[in-house]
Amino acid sequence: MPHYITDRCIGCTVCAKKCPVDCIAGENKHLHIIDPEICVDCGVCESYCPVEAIANDLGEILPKCGGQSTRPVAMVEEDLCSGCEFCVAACPFDCLDMNWSHSDSFRHEGGSDWFPVAEMVHAKECVGCRLCEEVCIKSAIVVRWPDGRSAPTFHVNFDENAEAVDSFSHGIR
């Protein structure tokens, strides 16, 4: 069940700007609404709301995280990355890009020991929505808190949220 916005909303638009699947709508200084058909329940809106007006599916209002240094961010484990670029296409804020990496133990097609891997290039823009983590076919991306702990797993059900998947994954196909 998706998050929802309570009447504590001040209409600041932060949640709408940070939502990775654009499921939040509303006028400036008016109550905003989350479209439950599009919401993937990632919790990003909840962590950015300055007045703690967003509740999770259990009705719990969790406190905002604070600044970027206290938010989870995607981290790429280079040794596991296959270079498929799914994560780059899935990221709604262009935080990831492909970079060439060198490995003595890995030989790519053609005999080269240089191969493309995903790399976090705009960590300050990462909202920790886990979309990149969900599409990674090799589990090479993990969303972690700055202290290294894994971020909580939200129940992102991409089968039930096909419209949301289409909104960010058109470049994957």
Q: What domains appear along the chain, each with residue ranges and CATH number?
A: 1-64 (3.30.70.20), 68-160 (3.30.70.20)
pLDDT at 140 over 90: yes
pLDDT at 61 over 90: no
Measured distance CA(169)–CA(88) in Å, rounded: 10
Q: Which residue has the higher pLDDT, 11 or 172?
A: 11
Residue 111 has pLDDT above 70, yes or no: no
Going by pLDDT thresholds of 50, 70 and 90, the confidence category of residue 12 is very high
Residues 6+ apart with CB under 8 A from 79: 103, 140
> Count of residues for the chain?
173
d(CA 167, CA 4): 20
d(CA 49, CA 44): 9
- pTM assigned to the model: 0.67
Give the position of tokens 């990003």: 44
Using CA atoms, how far apart are residues 68 and 142, in angstroms rounded to an integer? 17
Residue 153 confidence (pLDDT): 57
